[in-house]
Every structure is written in structure tokens, then in C-alpha cells.
Chains A and B, each alone.
Chain A
Amino acid sequence: MLQDISIDALQAAMHGLSAREKAISNNIANVNTPYFTAREVSFEDQLSRALEAGEDPSTAGISARYTTDAAGLNGNNVDINAQTLLGIETKMKMELALRATGDRFTLMRSAVRGG
């Protein structure tokens, strides 16, 4: 009963979102570093494939790769507007996943207490 697949899936999503948050922080940290190439993190496709195939969501991969956006005059390709938006989106998704996980725990707590 306490082995809950949705908590495992949410945990995998939060791992991915956390990695993305770190990559965004690193991109913004290097907004003025010459010849810096931004990174992006993807995990959603891998996670949904794992869930559809009935595999353990924690084994779904998280991949980081360099972006291919054109670089500016100083060889830096960080788009601060896009990174800020992505940062806000990642934060909202993270809070959603945290809320959903918290609600699963509340459900379990009710079940254990018997109402």
C-alpha cells in the first residue's frame, strides 16, 4: 500500500526539475562569461516513456546537453529572458510536484489514522 508509483514518478520529476534549476542557475551565473555555451536539461520524454512501459520511474534518465543557439559578439549564447522564463516555469512545476507529493502523504496519513 505504501509503495506508491505516483510518489516515485513525482520524485523522478523533481530530480529532473532540480537538475534543470541547477542548469538555469549556471546559465544565469555565466551570463557575462565570454565563450560560454548554455546547457539545457531534458527528462520529461524519458520519464513518460518509462511510465508507459511500466518501468521504475527512478531509472528514467535525465540528460543535459549544450544548446545550439547562436552566440553573441562575446561568444556567449545565454538568452537571459528565456532563462528567466524557464526558471519561473521550472519553479512552478516544482511547486506543483511538491504539492502533489504532499497531498499523497496527506492521503496516506488519513488512511493510517482511519479518517
Chain B
Amino acid sequence: MFNALGISGSAMHVHQTWLDALSDNIANVNTVRASDQPAFQARYVTAVAVENGSTGAGVAVAGIDLGDATGRLVSDPNHPLADADGLVRLPDIDLGEQMTALIMAQRGYQANIANLERVRSTYQAAIQMGRTS
């Protein structure tokens, strides 16, 4: 009973995790590291469908993978973390890619909220069945 609510809930959780990871990636787009340190690594959320029963049972986070630690070396001699050659390491995050994914995650979250509301109102009608008003 009320299974569809849990299915939408699982999707909201996955999209929320995705949004959190994307926000963190964007927040760290300019995080500077010393050239002998690994760059900030972007997080990538992997989703997997939960294939239980004939109609499926939602979605789950399969894992979070880390992006490239090489980043790129940028000349910034005045930076306190700069090495002898004046280089610092910045993460190699594509902001356009992150923003696109952010919109996808946001729209996916909204679609599931809309579905949750539809399902909730159907269940509400079922609960009211047989009542004399």
C-alpha cells in the first residue's frame, strides 16, 4: 500500500544527492592547491534503477565517483601556495557541464515532486471512498 510514494521518495533522494554533489563541484571550481598536491576532484553521482517486482521499485545511488585529480597548472606567482616556478594547481571542472547537469537534476526533482502530489491526491481519494459527505 502507498508504494508509489516511496518510489517518488527514492528519486527525490537520488536527485538531492546529485544536486548536493553538483553544488559542491561548482563551489570548488576555483579551489587552489599547491602544485605537488592533487587538484580538487569533482564528484559524479551514479544512479541505478531498483528492479524489484513487476513494476520496479524506484532508483538508488549506486556510487559516487571522483573526477580527475590532475587538474591544470596555472601560473600565479603571488599566491602563497605557488611553487618555485610560480605554479598552482586548479581543478579541471567544466562549469558548463556542471550547470547543465544542475538543471537536469533540478527538473528531475521537480518532476518527481509533481508525481508525488498526483499520487498523494489519488490515495487521498481512496481513503475517502465510501464516506457519506
Q: Which residues of A contact B (CB under 8 A)?
A: 19, 21-34, 36, 39, 41, 63-64, 80, 84, 87-88, 91, 94-95, 98, 101-102, 105-106, 109
Rounded to whole Å, the gap between the CB of A7 and the closest CB of chain B is 11
Q: Which 7 A-B pairs have the closest CB atoms?
A: A29-B11, A26-B56, A25-B4, A23-B55, A64-B54, A25-B7, A22-B55
- Chain B residues 7 to 33 lying within 8 A of chain A, measured CB to CB, are 7-8, 10-11, 14-15, 18
Rounded to whole Å, the gap between the CB of A8 and the closest CB of chain B is 15
Which residue on A lies nearest to B133, using beta carbons? Answer: A102
User: Does B81 reach chain A (CB closer than 8 Å)?
Assistant: no
Residues of chain B within 8 A (CB-CB) of A95 are 122, 125
A interface secondary structure, majority: helix
Given contacts A102-B129, A102-B130, contact A28 B111 (CB under 8 A): yes
Taking a contact as CB atoms under 8 Å apart, the answer to whether A33 and B48 are in contact is yes
Residues of chain A within 8 A (CB-CB) of B55 are 19, 22-23, 26, 39, 41, 64
Taking a contact as CB atoms under 8 Å apart, the answer to whether A22 and B125 are in contact is no
Taking a contact as CB atoms under 8 Å apart, the answer to whether B130 and A105 are in contact is yes
Residues of chain A within 8 A (CB-CB) of B112 are 28-29, 31
Q: Which residues of B contact A (CB under 8 A)?
A: 3-4, 7-8, 10-11, 14-15, 18, 47-49, 54-59, 104-105, 108, 111-112, 114-115, 118-119, 121-122, 125-126, 128-132
Taking a contact as CB atoms under 8 Å apart, the answer to whether A84 and B56 are in contact is no
CB-defined A-B contacts under 8 Å, sample of 27:
A21-B119, A23-B56, A24-B4, A25-B3, A25-B7, A25-B8, A25-B58, A25-B115, A25-B119, A26-B55, A26-B58, A28-B11, A28-B115, A29-B11, A31-B108, A32-B104, A32-B108, A33-B49, A33-B59, A39-B55, A64-B54, A64-B55, A84-B111, A84-B115, A98-B129, A102-B130, A105-B130
Q: Tell me which of A26, A32, A87 contacts B57 (CB under 8 A).
A: A26
Residues of chain A within 8 A (CB-CB) of B15 are 32
Residues of chain B within 8 A (CB-CB) of A27 are 56
